[in-house]
Structure 1
Amino acid sequence: MELDSEQVVKRIEELRKDYSCSQATLMGICEVGGMPTEELALLAKGFSGGIGGTFSEGTCGAVTGAVMALGFLGADEKQIISASKKLFNEFKDKYESVTCGYISKDGDDKSPCVEVCLFAGEKVCEYLKE
């Protein structure tokens, strides 16, 4: 499946104003991919704040949202697993961690949140083209 990364980025930016990182990332990617988003917002809700607000122990919602989107939109299990691992590694290389608390200073500084969501969204678009 091929997604327009510019549309994904625009939609994630819009959604991030009202939704958490996991929700905005999942919804933005899947909406551009043609999926309805109301149920997706509910699915991703528990991943907010590094999974249930655990921050320093939980994975960044941009990563979890992107991995869920890969599961919905990926071609097959092998592609989904490979792309998920690649996303994890590239995200960690760029941001030094995949932990929400590290990135957001335990939720006290959410200024990097939009950027990490956009990065994850663009990577999913890239991986789905492969």
Structure 2
Amino acid sequence: MENTTRAEQAVEYKRKCNCAQAVLLAFAPELGKSKEELMAVSSGFGSGMGGMEGTCGAFCGAVMALGMLNKSDKPSKMIAKDMMQEFKEMSGATICGDLKGIKTGKMLCSCDDCVRHGVEVLEKRLAEL
């Protein structure tokens, strides 16, 4: 993929923080916020909001970054809707518990791959703005 470098950087960040934080940190230079601020604002989104029962943290991080980076006339929620569909196609779901197979015992996508997918869907949309 064309975004391998940033996606792999996000995976490296994931070793020391949650999935939402990892995706946001990968976009830190463009976001104009300190790493501490990005870590704080995304701290509650790891492990899926609601303890794996909510939306994947990596996807949440991508949408948070989108909101800060979208300077177009197209509402971020509309772009996020497209991102969500693509993320779901890539990962198999958007809910953390479903991705991890909590109820089924079948993992659909690893955290590392979810982080990669979050970065990739965001990079694609940013390139289109």
Structure 1, unmatched stretches of 5+, are none
Q: RCO (CA 8 Å, sep 6+): is it higher in 1 or 2? A: 1
* 2:63 is equivalent to residue 67 of structure 1: yes
Match in the other structure for 1:15: 13
1-side partners of 2:73 and 2:6: how far apart? 23
Q: Equivalent pairs: percent with the same residue?
A: 31
Q: Is the 8 A contact 2:59 2:94 kept in 1?
A: yes
Call closer, same or farther: CA 1:24–1:77 in 2, change over 3 Å: farther
One-letter amino acid of the structure 1 residue matched with residue 69 of structure 2: L
Match in the other structure for 1:81: 77
Over residues 9-40 of structure 1, what are the superposed CA-to-partner deviations in whole Å (9 max), with x where a residue is unaligned?
Answer: 132022010011111011212x1425322111
Call closer, same or farther: CA 1:39–1:92 in 2, change over 3 Å: same
1:52 CA displacement: 4.0
1:94 CA displacement: 2.3
Correspondences of 1:38-57 after superposition (within 5 Å): 38-53=36-51, 55=52, 57=53
2-side partners of 1:52 and 1:44: how far apart? 14
Aligned residues: 122
Over residues 104-124 of structure 1, what are the superposed CA-to-partner deviations in whole Å (9 max), with x where a residue is unaligned?
Answer: 233x97x71011111110111
Taking structure 2 as the reference length, what is the TM-score of the superposition?
0.82
Call closer, same or farther: CA 1:59–1:10 in 2, change over 3 Å: same
* 2:122 is equivalent to residue 124 of structure 1: yes
Q: Is the 8 A contact 1:58 1:99 kept in 2?
A: yes
Q: Is the 8 A contact 2:10 2:23 kept in 1?
A: yes
Q: Is the 8 A contact 2:58 2:115 kept in 1?
A: yes
